[in-house]
Homo-oligomer: A and B are copies of this chain.
Amino acid sequence: MEKNTSFLSIAKDFKAIFFDSYGVLKNYRGLIDGVQNTIDFIENQGIVFRILTNDASRSQEQQAESFEKAGLRGITPEKIITSGMMAKQYLQLKIKSGKVAYLGTPNAAQYILQANLECVPISEVENHDLDTIMAMVFLDDEGFDWNYDINKTVNLIRRKNIPVIVANSDNLYPVTKTDVSIATGGIAKLVESIISKKFIHFGKPDSQMFNFAFDHINQEGTFNKDEILMVGDTLHTDILGGNKFGVKTTLVLSGNTNANDADLIIRSSGIIPDYICDSIVG
């Protein structure tokens, strides 16, 4: 484990880099200062990159647009890979007819469910609809009444044995320097543990997003796993997933994991990054 190294001096030795988005490129205040320099450096070195995010609430296009609005150039939609895309692919392949109930915003639903499936917010599911509901998707932590709609979801899943998809496995996301909010994955795990069923979770640390990104860059050239670096701010998703996939990993201290706690959490979790940097800047 190398610490306090300059990120650029590490990055230059790789042919491809996978970045987490939140906590790495941006945070609750917007873009991280200086991140444009890093993206430019990487592009100039001919290093290929992708952004792997557990944000399932917005499409690739919407996320690219959001980077552009914030003033970061060079993040095109096809460079962004979301856990929502994995959930979408699942639905396309496995649910061939009927309706899909969801917990989240209509925007998230529109994006994920653009397959030829009708989607219904859980609040609008009626008991006489039950026959037509073929899957339930946890999409986002907003866009619904937590008390009423989470309870309605519990009862739907108890009544009908359908696949339950979790489009974002994160438990928490930061909303200020000190405060967090419970994310979709946290809500889904509550329901999963209460009703003792097994849901289908997408997003890091699962290998599927890494594989998707790997296959994607290998359409542009030839990349071996040992030529790829995963960069993230969260040990349990970015670093665990990257390590397992067999690529080198860098923990940055600009997001979920702060400098004071990093050593301790690494020691107590047993999740060990190859490198630790303050941020991807410098």
A residues contacting B by CB (< 8 A) are 89-90, 93-94, 141-142, 145-147, 150-151, 154-155, 157-159, 161-164, 171-172, 178-182, 186-187, 189-190, 193-194, 196-200, 202, 206-208, 211, 225-226, 236, 240, 243-247, 264, 266-272
| Distance (whole angstroms) from the CB of A111 to the closest CB of chain B | 18
A193 touches B200 (CB 8 A): no
Q: Given A207-B211, A270-B164, A272-B163, is A151 in contact with B198 using a C-beta cutoff of 8 Å?
A: no
A150 is contacted by which of B90, B159, B182, B194 (Cβ under 8 Å)?
Answer: B182
Q: Give 15 CB contacts A-B under 8 Å.
A: A90-B243, A93-B226, A94-B243, A151-B180, A154-B182, A155-B179, A161-B272, A172-B194, A189-B193, A190-B190, A198-B236, A198-B240, A198-B269, A198-B271, A200-B243
B197 touches A268 (CB 8 A): yes
Taking CB atoms, residues of chain B closer than 8 Å to A93 are 225-226, 246-247
Interface of A is mostly: helix
A270 is contacted by which of B180, B193, B199, B271 (Cβ under 8 Å)?
Answer: B199
Leading 3 A-B pairs by shortest Cβ distance? A197-B270, A146-B146, A93-B246
| Distance (whole angstroms) from the CB of A228 to the closest CB of chain B | 10
Taking CB atoms, residues of chain B closer than 8 Å to A245 are 208
A193 CA to B268 CA, complexed, in Å: 12
| Distance (whole angstroms) from the CB of A11 to the closest CB of chain B | 19
Taking CB atoms, residues of chain B closer than 8 Å to A193 are 189, 193
A196 touches B268 (CB 8 A): yes
A146 touches B155 (CB 8 A): no
